Structure 1
Amino acid sequence: MALYLEGQGEISKAIELLHRGLEAAVSVLGEDHPSTLTARNNLASVYESAGDVGRAIALYEPVLADRLRVLGTDHPDTLISRNNLAGAYRASGDVGRAIPLYERTLADRLRVLGEDHPSTLASRNNLAGAYSESGDVDRAIPLYERTLADRLRVLGEDHPSTLASRNNLAGAYNESGDVDRAIALHERTLADQLRVLGADHPETLMSRNNLAAAYETAGDVGRAIAMHEQVLADQLRVLGADHPDTLMSRNNLAFAYDASGVAGRAIALYEEVLVDCVRVLGEDHPITTAVVRNVTAARARGWKFRKPTD
């Protein structure tokens, strides 16, 4: 139930439910029981989804240490913990710390679970994402392409993980400058997500956001703005104003306004979302720092092109 609530954007309710479940597990099963460790892992995951990455890391690190001690290095739950901790490091902006952990987890999953296990495929996808975020998109694209091919073969075309792989690969193509290829893949992925997941699923909303970004890269800023505005409206309705995806969408819409030359509108939206990012996510969260960079650049451009007054 808690993880369902998380998926629906009901983060506060999910956290409350997981805290109660963890307290019960500790009381009945003890600190080292695998179910208690899983409860702690799940609580960390929801904190991460809520944008409280620092708190998530503080939970993930001891869970990994305890699973290593209780379950051993090669237990699937230990591998999950290492993957999750790497993901939290990545979410905090510490990609340099995330990449070695992802690489080790992928190597261990290949050895323990095999090449076609869904968790192994997830590890390869995550490592590709970390390479991309570190600026090494040329290293990321072959990993994304191989992961997509394997997920198509193992999981099928309509599996959510396969759809996620296509979305990620499209994003990497866009980042590498291959915009036409990116748009075609984003459009196909979005059509399939609408059919399989529905219009209001968070992954579908994210795909629409990514397609809008690709249109913007291609120079079709008007089309991008219209899509960003609709995505934001839907995320406000489905996820709520304080969900990290919603905050990121507001940043993206401001970026599109700025690209269209409407600097005043962009700066006003950046300033509004920055206040909310600091309140919800904290000053050091990657989304917050991205907004700071963007509003600083927008202000600088505004001053540069402002006519001097007499």
Structure 2
Amino acid sequence: MFYRRKVAYFTKPTGKMSAYNFRAPEPGGAELRTDHRGILGKARKVREKKLGKEDIATLASTSLFASVLLDQGRWKEAEKLFVQVMETFKTKLGPDHPDTLTSMANLALTFWNQARWEEAKKLFVQGRWSEAEKLELQVMEIRKTKLGAAHPDTLTSMANLALIYWNQGRWSEAEKLQVQAMETFKTKLGPDHPDTLISIGNLALSYWNQGRWLEAEKLQVQVMEAFKTKLGADHPDTLISIGSLALSYWNQGRWSEAEKLQVQVMETSKTKLGPDHPYTLTSMNNLAFTWGKQGRRAEALALMEDCARAQERVLGKQHPHTLSSLASIAKWSS
């Protein structure tokens, strides 16, 4: 079985604060970081040469490589590889083989990321959501039949489908699936398992979007403290939980509490992920907005300028996040 992604995400408060999208850990699997791209790329090329593009081992390497591209925000490149893997598995293994289903789920998440990050024209985005929803529904139903409703792969599909509903504003549908997934994870894996904690965090964000601030905050604090204990204060999933709680504070106008957490996330992300990592840039963007709300205009402007320069290098001058940062700079400079 090749790499399977699970979903953890953050919401966006009013304004142009940015969301995070970190990969959750795969039980028993290795953490794939950006510096592995070269190694994985070489392994893929070697397997292609020795075994052929359609060999199962080659496809596993291709999927791993595509997943790293996805983490780096290189959506189109990742999509191309995931389509290749999915179509080959359909032909070689059949449409309902577990590896085929996993490849479909990976492609669905690639559509999700393109909709979230690029924020393209309304019809294009809706088309992407429709494709992702169709794929994930198909994966979930087949997994329910073949593996059972409580199987981890089925729960992953359920969580991913909830995410798709969530991003379309279909809160009640998302919440229903998230509660179901959370309760099953608690029963099967325990209340402090990373996958259980991620499901709790995702449910908190559905509460957040419905204005149920206290319910959301209670769950977010629970997740943050558990991740600190289980994984450590500087683990990427811990940083996600801290950033999520910071955005809840931000939305409630609790600037000082939000700032404290956002500084922690930004500094740790710089050290752990690198100064130009997309998630480090997101933390810079969010902290700049908080400083702006606190009346620290000069500091906010300087940080946003640093963020925009890095976004131009990493994402490109026409990327929506870059344009959003430049618009904020223009507004704050006037």
TM-score, with structure 1 as normaliser: 0.88
Q: 1:170 to 1:208 in 2, by over 3 A?
A: same
1:247 matches 2:278:
no
Q: Determine the structure 2 residue equivalent to 1:133.
A: 167
For residues 323 and 32 of structure 2, the distance between their equivalents in structure 1, rounded to whole angstroms, comes to 28
Matched, 1:173 2:197: no
Amino acid of the residue matched to residue 256 of structure 2?
G
The alpha carbon displacement at 1:195 in A equals 0.9
Q: State the match for 1:98 in structure 2.
A: 132
Letter in structure 2 aligned against 1:206: I
Flag structure 1 segments of 5+ consecutive residues without an equivalent. 304-310
CA RMSD of aligned residues (A): 2.3
Partner of 1:296: 327
Shift in Å, 1:193: 0.5
2:205 is paired with a residue whose SS is helix
- Name the aligned partner's letter for residue 252 of structure 1: N
Show the counterpart of 2:94: 72
Q: Does the alignment pair 1:200 with 2:220?
A: no
For residue 7 of structure 1, the aligned residue among 21, 31, 35 is 31
Relative to structure 1, the CA distance from residue 128 to residue 267 in structure 2 (aligned partners, 3 Å threshold; closer, same or farther) is: farther
- Alignment correspondent of 2:291: 257
Question: Aligned-pair distance for 1:296?
Answer: 2.7
Q: Distance in 1 between matches of 2:29 and 2:322?
A: 28
Matched with 1:108 is: 142
Q: Give the partner amino acid of 1:75.
A: H
Q: Deviations over 1:53-77 (max 9, x none)?
A: 1211111111111111111101111
Q: Note the C-alpha offset of 1:242.
A: 1.7
Partner of 2:39: 17
On the 8 A contact 1:257/1:265 being kept in 2, the answer is yes
> What is the number of residues matched between the two proteins?
297
Correspondence list, 1:35-54, <5 A: 35-54=57-76
**Post-superposition offset of 1:206:** 0.9
> Aligned partners of 1:203, 1:273: CA distance in 2, in Å?
22
Q: Which string of whole-angstrom CA distances, capped at 9 and with x for unpartnered residues, describes residues 75-116 of structure 1?
A: 111111110011011111145232222222212222222211
State which of 132, 151, 171 in structure 1 corresponds to 2:185. 151
- List gaps (5 residues or longer) in structure 2: 4-25, 116-124
Q: Which has the higher helix share?
A: 1
Name the counterpart of 1:308.
none
User: How big is the shift at 1:268?
Assistant: 3.4
Distance 1:135 1:294 in 2: 25
TM-score (norm 2): 0.82
Match of 1:237 in 2: 271
Partner of 1:268: 302
Letter in 2 for 1:117: H
Distance in 1 between residues matched to 2:173 and 2:326, nearest whole Å: 30
